[in-house]
Amino acid sequence: MSPTAAGSAASPGAGRSESPAAGPAAVSVRDLAVRFESDAGPVTALDGVSFDVPAGGLVTMLGPSGCGKSTLLRAVADLVPLSEGEISVFGRTPEEARLARDFSFVFQDATLLPWRSAIDNVRLPLEVGGRNGSVEQHAEPDELLALVGLAGREAALPHELSGGMRQRVSIARALVCRPRVLLMDEPFGALDEIARDKLNEELLRIWRETGTTIIFVTHSIPEATFLGQKCLVLSAHPGRVREYVGIDFGEARTLATRDTLEFVEVTAHLRRLLGESG
């Protein structure tokens, strides 16, 4: 399935300087199939999935629940073995990429250690996996907390922070090893809409400032549209690529972008795709 330019009304000239399709692929998935053994026989979660994520790109992933979004992300992260096909992360296998700390994962729950302060939670990746604080190229934890808007809260324990703040700490933690790819599985799914909107804008800023490639799973069509340069729409049972939709709103995306006609057209297109895929 080749990238399709959806939302034909989106102004063609106002694209980002680097077109999403150009440049080397950060993550490349080829003919991926993932099957699980269950009591009722094998379950095919993903089948024949192929797509590329360009380096520095931000790709959102959308699909009905149970269609295999998490499984796909977890396959990239070496948390799920592949049954068929291959995945490369900057030319490495998922396992090599994991050992090289090429990617980080952000879960729906912040998964912070409750006994550690915000800044000590951000330091965790520097202390484990044979790192012992000697990661050559890590970012400064306090600068990362400032980047995610938590300057001054370094010493706060997780239970003293709101849900949105905890998720920000977990994003800072994911960035501490300067990963080349950030894998996010419905990271704002548990937040209220106001917090989610703020974090969406904030994520775009962090993405621009760090140049990290991001794959972002969501079940919110507006969120997928607002964040993504491209949106990978999956269909369910088994999970396949329904369409890889290009989204082009030009350089500045603000919350006001959501009220534009182009935005509404893209969301309508995505909604139609999801409706057809059941």
Ligand X SMILES: Nc1ncnc2c1ncn2[C@@H]1O[C@H](COP(=O)(O)OP(=O)(O)O)[C@@H](O)[C@H]1O
Whose structure tokens read 């909604």?
A: 271
Q: Of 25, 73, 72, which is closest to residue 52 (Cα–Cα)?
A: 25
Least spacing, CB of residue 4 vs ligand X, in Å: 21
Q: Is 33 in the site for another protein (CB under 8 A)?
A: no
Nearer to another protein, 62 or 73 (CB): 73
Tokens encoding 108 = 């729906």
Task: Please report, as residue ranges, which positions from 125 to 164 form the binding site for another protein (by CB under 8 A).
Answer: 125, 127-130, 146-153, 156-157, 159-164
Nearest to 149 by CA among 137, 136, 166, 135: 166
Q: Does residue 70 touch ligand X according to CB under 6 A?
A: yes
Shortest Å, Cβ 115 to another protein = 4
Candidate segments 62-70, 107-115, 142-150, 259-267, binder of ligand X by CB under 6 A: 62-70
Q: Which residue has the tokens 């990239």?
A: 76
Min. distance of Cβ 108 from another protein in angstroms?
Answer: 8
- Report the partner that residue 204 touches, choosing among another protein, ligand X, Mg ion, none (CB closer than 5 to 8 A by kind): none
For residues 170 and 110, the answer to whether their CB atoms sit within 8 Å is: yes
Sign of the C-alpha dihedral, residues 249, 10, 62, 234? negative
Strand order of the β-sheet with 213-217 is 4-5, 240-246, 230-235, 58-62, 213-217, 181-185, 103-106
Closer to Mg ion by CB, 70 or 235: give it.
70
Q: How far is the CB of 13 from another protein (least distance, A)?
A: 31
Give me the residues that bind ligand X (CB under 6 A), please: 36, 38, 43, 45, 63, 65-71
